[in-house]
Amino acid sequence: MTEEFGAGGSRPAHQPNHIPGPHPAGPHPAGPHHTGPDPTQPFAGGPVSAATAQLAPPRPARSSRAGLLAGAVVLALVSGGVGGAVGVIATREDSRPPVTNALDAPRPDVSTVANAPAGSTQAVAQKVLPSVVMIEVASNRAEGEGSGVVLSSDGLILTNNHVASGGGSNATIVVRFSDGTSAPARIVGADPVSDLAVIKVEGRTDLTPIEMGSSADLQVGEPVIAIGSPLGLAGTVTTGIVSALNRPVSTSGQGTDNPNAPQPVIDAIQTDAAINPGNSGGALVDYDGRLIGINTAIATLGSGGLGGQQSGSIGLGFAIPVDQARRVARELIDTGRATYAQIGIKLRPQDSVALVLEATPGGPAAEAGIPAGAVITKLDDRVIDSGEALIAAVRSRQPGDKVKVTYTDDTGNNPTTVEVTLTAATVDGAR
């Protein structure tokens, strides 16, 4: 698996701004307010002083009565208004429509299976799910789960080498199908260089083979669907797009006793469809339900969970292009092992340039005149910017392909283009 590390951080949750309540109003100083009897009228309590007469103008007694009457009228009007409102409310409550409840409605007679629009995620899932399986591998050394795709009705299944060979040579393999049935399986052939394997279940002739597509004309941004068994959750469907093409990705090598076996480097399709441990070997399909890749690896931000298990999807998943997987699967079925293309040079995969340390005598590069110390910058029209990029580009081709290789000297000058015929190689000790 590829690993990417970065520093994460947390950000405090946003706190709502404090909104102060209204300030209490202080005592409002009132102006002069005078009450008392009319100074122009006789008052039983005694004579009225001149000061009082100036502050309180005369008010006839009749006006006072009229004010009381007017107040009474206003009170009556207000009371009448309240009474009217109460009457309106009572009337509206009486005319409220009856209560309806969604739980009381009859269950509709519809079929979401029949109504799945052509080209929808739902329709693709219905088509592809019967062709994707969960694979369980167990031994006294290790146990784990992965995914696979059905190649033939009689039980041939394509998966990753690190899934099929992960338990060692004496592991038992059980395949679980979408209908809930299961069957034991055996390895037909496995290739650690391409990280692909073919297994076969016994006693089944009714399986649904997946429809093969092509990875040659994929475009960045094209919608895709990943189907597999992440974390043992069989039949999981996730969606995304093709995020990038021709990503050189190193994976862990398994299934060979040769310590000098080449490190698996795949020329991967990158996708942001959610891929997690257990998706390995599962299907990456287009929206016609055709296989375009075998999900193989994910990038992570580091370890997480108990026991240092890798963390989950961060939107960086990688799949082996189906054109390469198809060729390797055919060779594994026919011969039990697969070949891969080689150019015949030694280099350091981790270098940021494809520096030729040595051109193998008699090999394709040496025959084409590529010297030690050269820096390969292009393979056909593909830019080569690292050692791994050259490995991935070469292995994406077939043995016997003719390619144009552009290289410079170690100073980056004197670009030269030559034609190279790639040759075939196999891994000793591979199953």
Give me the active site residues, please: 162, 195, 280
Distance CA 319, CA 160 (A): 10
CB-based contact 357:348 (threshold 8 Å): yes
CB-based contact 396:412 (threshold 8 Å): no
Q: Which residues lie below 8 Å from residue 336, measured CB to CB, with a gap of 6+?
A: 188, 189, 431
Distance CA 235, CA 124 (A): 13
Distance CA 195, CA 254 (A): 8
- Could you count the other beta carbons within 10 Å of the beta carbon of residue 5? 9
Distance CA 273, CA 237 (A): 9
Q: Which residues lie below 8 Å from residue 413, measured CB to CB, with a gap of 6+?
A: none
The per-residue DSSP string of 297-321 comes to EE--SSB-SGGG-B----S-EEEEE
Distance CA 207, CA 189 (A): 20
Strand 211-212 and strand 290-298: the pairing is parallel
Distance CA 16, CA 232 (A): 42
Q: 3-class DSSP state for residue 183?
A: strand
Distance CA 86, CA 78 (A): 13
The per-residue DSSP string of 226-279 comes to EEE-GGG-TTEEEEEEEEEEEEEEE----S---TTPPPPEEEEEEE-S---TT-
